[in-house]
Structure 1
Amino acid sequence: MLVSVTGGTGFLGAHTVSSLVRRGHRVRLLARDEGRVEPALGPLGVDRSAVEVVVGDVTDEAAAGRLVRGADAVLHAASVYSFDSRRRASMRRTNERGTEVVLGAARRLGADPVVHVSTFGVLEPDGGRRVRADAPVGRPRECYLSTKAAAERIARRHRSRGAPVVITYPAALLGPDDPKLGDQTARLRDALRGLMPIWPLGGFPVGDVRDAAEFHADLFDAPGRGAERLLVPGRHMSTREYVATLRQVTGRRLPTVFLPARAVVPVGLLTDAVQRVWPWHIPAEYGAVHVSGRDLRVDGEPGPRPVTETFGDTVRWLHRAGLLSARQAGRAAEPPSRALQERREQGKVRR
C-alpha cells in the first residue's frame, strides 16, 4: 500500500512512518524542507528507498494534490503543537487551513482510509471528566486546542459527506527520538533542568509515541473499515505521579511545589502576554496549566508499555542527544537494565 503522510518529520509522524515501512508499506511524505527527512527518519532505521518526498506545505493545494495523487491511503499528522503564544498565527494556518486542504484532496482523489490525527483535548468530557471517542467537540479558548477543535470539525464534516475519515485522539506523547523536540518532550526536559519547580494540581493522559505509532500503522493493515473515531492508548497521570515517575527513573529529588490549578492560571496568562514580546521561551505556559487543570481521563485502554520505560527512554534519549547533562539525567543516563533488554529481544515489548 502507498500511504501519503503529512507531519512525517514530526514526533508521532516519524515513528508512524517507521512502523509503516517495517510492515512493507511504501510512504510518500509531504515536507516543507527535504533536509529534515533524514534527521527525522534516519535514527529510526527507516529505509529511505521506501520513502518518496514531495516538497511543499500543507496549505498549498497543488502540493497536497501531488502528495495524494495515486496514493491508497492518507495519514494527516501535520500540526503545530505548542502552547507558545508567539505561534498563534502558524497554528491557525497549519492546523485549520492545512486540514481543510489535505482532507479535501484526499476525499477528491479517493484515498481510503484517511486518518486525521486529532487530540483528546478537543473532546467534551462527561461529568466525571472522562472523554470518549463519541463525545462532541468542545470550543476551548486556549489557542492550540481551539485550532485543533476547528480542524476536528473540518474532519467530521468531510466524514459526514461520505469520506472514509478515521479520527484518532492521542494522549500526551513521550518517548525517544523526537526530531523537533516537541512540547511534551521539552516540558519533561525543563522539569529536569530545574525550570519547573511549581506544578498545577490535576493531570492528563500520557502515552508512548512507539505504541501510538503502532496503533496508527494498524489502521492501514485493514483498509475499507469506514469512518471511525478512536482513542489512542494512554493512561491518566496526575501531575504528582508525573513528577514522582521522573524522580523514580532519574533517582533525583526534584523539589517541587504543587498548587491548585486556579492559583497558577493567572501566572500562565501573564506569561502568555509577556511571551508575545519576550524573545526567549518561558516554560510557565497557560495552555499547559489549562490542560493539567482540566484533569481529563481518557475512556480507553492504557498502552502496553510501562510508563517508567517511556519516561526512562525519553530521558536517556535526551542525554544521548546532548540535551541533558549526566547530572540532569541522573541514573537514567545509564544503559537500560538487562531485564528490559531481554524483554525487547524476546518481543515482549514492541519496538
Structure 2
Amino acid sequence: MEPARGRSPLARRGPSAASSRQPLQLRLDTFLTEKSMKFEDLEAFVHVAQQQGFSRAASQMRVAQSALSRRVTRLEHQLGVQLLWRHGRGVQLTEHGTALLERASGLMAELKSIRSDLLAHAVEPRGEVSIALTPTAAQVLVPRLVLELRRDFPQIKLAVREGFSGFIHGWVAEGGIDLAMLYDPEPNAELEIVPLLNEPLYLVAPRERAGLPELPLRNGHVPVRALGALPLILPSHAHSLRSLLERLAAERRFALDVVNEIDGMRAIKGMVEAGLGYTVFSYAGVYEEVNAGTLEIIPLAPRLGWKLALVERKLQAQTRALAEVRRIILRQIHVLHERGFWQGELCAIVGA
C-alpha cells in the first residue's frame, strides 16, 4: 500500500520509533559535519516551523510548496527522526523538531550575520534588500527606486512585495521583509518605526453623483459625522484605513454605512467612478483620477489624516545595501512631496 501523499513516511511510525534511536544531539552533530549536508534542507525546516505550515513558508521563501516538503522529508530521513506532525491546519513540532529548531535558528542567524558583515565591507554595496509597500506607494516609488539603483548601485538586488498595511506589518515583524512603508503601524518593541509624513484624508466622490445622497457641505468641507449617512465603499479591516475610520466612528458614536467591502484600490476607485458610492482616501491614491476629472476629493472637517512610516526590525543586520535603499527612499519621498504627489507635512527626518 502506498504512503499517503504529502506525508513523511516517518509519520506512520509514531513517537516510539523515533525515540528509540540514538540521541538527536549526536545525529545533528554528525549531520552538520557531513560533506553531503544540504543547508537548504535545514533552512526549509526552520521556515516551515516558524510559519507553522508549508503554505505560509513557501510564500515567504518564494519557492514551491512541494519543494519545501521534499527538503523537510529529506532532512527527516537523514536525521532518522520525525521533526513535524503534519495536520490539516499546518504543522506542529515534535520533541525532536523543537530541539533542532533551537540549534538551527541560531546557526542560520549566525550565517546570515557573517554574510551581512562580508557584504557590509564590500567596496560596492551589494546583496538583496527586500521591501514592502502599500499599493499607492509602490506604484510611484518603486520605479524611481529601481532606476536609481540600476544607475548607481547595480549590485543591489531589490525584492518588492505589495500589500495593505495590516499585512505588511505582519511580514516585517516575522522577519520576511528588511524595510517597509506602511500607514499607522502598531507599536512594537522589536520594530524601529520612523514617521515620514502626516497625510490628510479626503472624501472621494464621483464627478457625476446622480442617485447618490447629496453631500452636506459646510464651507467646502464634509463633516466627519456625515460619513455615517453616506454609502461607503471601503477595504476590509486588514487595511489601516478601515481601522482608522471604525475607531473614529466609535469615538463619535455613529456607524459607518459600508455598502461594499473591497480589498483592492483599483476596484474601489472604479466603483466610485461608476457612481456606486463614496470612499475615503489620500490624494496620492487617486491623483490620476482627480487630474483626469473622473473623481474629486473633498476635505473632511475636522481634518482627518494618517501617518506614513518606515519600519524595520531593530536587530536585523545593517548592510550597506540596506542603508543605500533606505537613503534613496527618504530622498524620493521628499521629491514626491515637493512635486505635490504626497500632501501633508513631512517629518523632520525626511526633510533633513
Q: Same fold (TM over 0.5)?
A: no
TM range (shorter): under 0.3
**TM-score where L is the length of structure 2:** 0.26
How does the TM-score come out when normalised to structure 1? 0.26
Of structures 1 and 2, the larger Rg is shown by 2
**Higher share in strand:** 2
